[in-house]
Structures are given as structure tokens and as C-alpha cells.
Structure 1
Amino acid sequence: MSKHSLAEKLNLVSQVNKGKPIKRLSKDSHIREGMLLEWVRKYDLFGESGLQKQPNIRATPDFKEEVVRLIMEKHLPLPQVVLQYGVSKSALESWIRMVKANGYASLHQQKKRGRPPKAMGRSKKREPETELEQLQTENT
């Protein structure tokens, strides 16, 4: 569940559209100014549906590359791409950092996730390495 309800978002956006200063609304409602601006932009572009919670998308490597190229090569502003493609700002910033550090190929690499599997079963008996170990195994 989201922290702010759709009704609350609509109320704040309508107050901004009526001319109430964002700074004051931000202080009164304890919401960052940037978040309020994002809601206003989404509302202007998509209407009420822009303020509703969107399902998480599983971005393919090709999609990631396309979006990052728009920002890095065509110099589109980050907020515009975020709104246009419905990608979170933090995910997009992460992809850009990856490309700057390791190139576009880093977006196509598969990352292993989670804890590595535990080796199951008993450990095998090892062969005695020294003469002393051989003699001890013969005596038992």
C-alpha cells in the first residue's frame, strides 16, 4: 500500500493548480517539494490515472539501453524520461551509473541474486596424505 492515498494526492495537486505555493503545501503536509512537483507533472500528463500506483515492470536489457541512450546521447532530461516511460528515478539513475562505469554491455549481464546454494550431503573421505595418517587409518 502506498504511503499517500489517491484522494490525498488529488487534493494536493488541485491546491497547487489553484495557485497555492508548493513550498507551503510541502511544509503543511510533510511531503517533499520534489514529490509534489512529480505528482503535478504526472497529473498534467496522464490525469488521475497518473497518480494511481503503477504495477512494477520487469525491464529488459534492451529497454534499459534504449532509455539510458535517450538521456546520455540525446540529452533528454531525466524527469521527462521518468514520466514518459514510467521508470522510477532511482532505477534509471542506477542504470546510468552502470553504463558510465562499465559501458552498455553491463546492462545485458545477468546478475546472480540471493544466497548461493548450500552444498548438500556428507563430505567425502579424503585420502591420507602423510605416512602417519596412513598408519593411523590402518590401525583403526
Structure 2
Amino acid sequence: MSAGFEVNERIAADSVFVAEWPLCQLRLMDDRRFPWLLLLPRKPGLEEWTELAEDELAVLAVEIKQACAALGAVAKFDKLNVGALGNIVRQMHVHIIGRSVGDAAWPGPVWGQGTREPYSPEAREALVERLRALPSDAD
């Protein structure tokens, strides 16, 4: 499934690799303002979730739920946002974002709000290691 799969250069520049799950690559968005994960189905040329086969959609749903649980295990937030937009980056990807009342973009969307604030290298690596250490149904 992943032969020929490549991460879009913008996603690669703005996020860091966490894990390979059965369908998706899990990535941490490198923006300390928001707890934020990305899921990228490892299928070359995929732009829309509707292009996935029904069995792949079932796996995607499970992996979204797993990513939501992982985010909740490493961060505190008031509301969980899940979305697949793709207006700027066409490659199919799902955002899992923890939102809190009063965060940098509240109550609007996170896209286009302010400037991304990368984690320090130490904080980013510690968060990635915490995510990797979590038990996973996707393993």
C-alpha cells in the first residue's frame, strides 16, 4: 500500500513523524499553540477520503479514534476537532486538534491564525516519545 507514498513537502516541513499505523502515517504538527496530530493514509496520489475502499475507510475511522485517544493522553483541551480539508495541501490528510477556550484561535479555525510556533527540539522529541510509548490498537 505504501509503495510510492510520499509526504507532501509542506506537511513534512510543518510536522514530524511519529509512527506508521496499518493505513496511515501519524505525524505531530510542530505548533506548540495547539495539541495537533495528522493522519496521512499511505496511498500514493490520494486526495479525497472518498477514494478509499470501504475496508480502508473502516481502518481510517479506527485510526482517527486511536489518534484522538493518543492526543488526549498527552494534552489537555476542552474540545476535539477532526477534519479533512485539503484546500491548500491536496494530499489526503486528517487533522486531529485539541482546542481550548481562549487558545490562540478560539473559537475560530486554527488555519491562518497567527504564526506557527514550533516546539523546542527537546519538547518536540519528548512529546513524540510520549506518543510512541502509548499502547496502540493500530500496532
User: Which band: TM-score by shorter chain?
Assistant: under 0.3
Whose RCO is larger (CA < 8 A, sep 6+)?
2
TM-score, normalising length: structure 2: 0.23
Higher helix share: 1
Higher strand share: 2
TM-score, normalising length: structure 1: 0.23
Larger Rg: 1
